[in-house]
Amino acid sequence: MVNRFDNFITDYLHENREVSLERIGLVKASSSAQEQQAGSVVFVYDKKAATSEDLINFIAEKTGKSKYLISSDLESHFAQVREFLNIGKSYEIPGFGFIKANKAGVYEFLPYSDINKPAKTGTQPVKRQKQSNRSAIQLITLIIVLAILGGLGWQAYQFFNKPKTVDNSETVINTVDTTANKTTPVLDSNRTDSALNTTSLHDSSDVVNVKYIFEITASGLRAQTRTAQLKNFGSDAAFDSFISNKTKFYSLYILKPTKIADTLTVKDSLSKFLQKDITLKIVPGT
């Protein structure tokens, strides 16, 4: 399963012949267009490398999104790539080859096989057999990697689509009626199990502190950096943590005092700004 950023990296390499990937290294494509198509590259491992600024601008221009959001999303993407590399998985740059970690933990580049090159005259059966074996191994490796990524994708889909457990310190807004002064039932999660069928009422004119949750991630680094970026933009951003299936996750949100009748308007505005789906939770006691 190839991430959408990987295709942009491939396009950028074809056009610029060189790209730096955060804490992974420098990838240089051949200056020959014919060799570029064959995936001929030079890779220099550099654990202090920073993502090419021109790559961020390139993707921002192609997608029409803010380069600050692209920079943040690329940081998260490459953090996940390094996690895969460090557990022995391969990272594919489409059209060029794979990056993987050797036994010493150093990242190396494995190009695609030369199966598309014309056969030379004076065939050598032994070498051809070795080439065939190498191609078979690479194909099997690719299938295994795709199967693993597919499984992880399915698990992520299951996690984000199953009903979420209500946090004991928060109230979840299911719907908000913005017409007139109608009251909206809200589930109060601080009640005991025997009282969960009862509801407390908020008037549409009430002002409450609302957490506008825009992202859930398993990366603590991602939670810290994204929150810091939004704070620099002037947003009251923060994050909470919770455990699910023995894994720690982080819930990123923007805290904003909001009138009940205006919550959907604020939600839509933040969703457009952050390019994310928003979940609302009321802070108890407000």
The reported pLDDT for the residue numbered 12 is 94
Based on its alpha-carbon atoms, the radius of gyration of the chain, rounded to whole angstroms, reads: 25
Kindly write down the DSSP assignment for every residue of 161-194, as one continuous string: HSPPPPPTT-EE------STT-EEEEEETTS-GG
Q: How high does pLDDT run on average in the chain?
A: 80
**CB within 8 A of 74, min separation 6: which ones?**
5, 22, 51, 55, 56, 59
* Highest mean predicted confidence (pLDDT) among 133-142, 161-170, 196-205, 259-268: 259-268
**CB within 8 A of 58, min separation 6: which ones?**
8, 11, 12
Domains of the chain and CATH, by start: 4-112 (4.10.520), 171-282 (no CATH)
Residue 76 vs residue 189, higher pLDDT? 76
Sign, CA torsion 65/66/72/75: positive
The reported pLDDT for the residue numbered 133 is 80
> Average pLDDT for residues 20-31, to the nearest whole number?
91
The reported pLDDT for the residue numbered 155 is 83
Mind listing the pLDDT tens digit for each residue in 64-102? 999 999 999 999 999 999 999 999 999 999 989 999 999
Q: Is the pLDDT of residue 115 over 50?
A: no
pTM value surpassing 0.85: no
Mind listing the pLDDT tens digit for each residue in 36-49? 444 578 999 999 99
- Whose structure tokens read 């809200």? 186
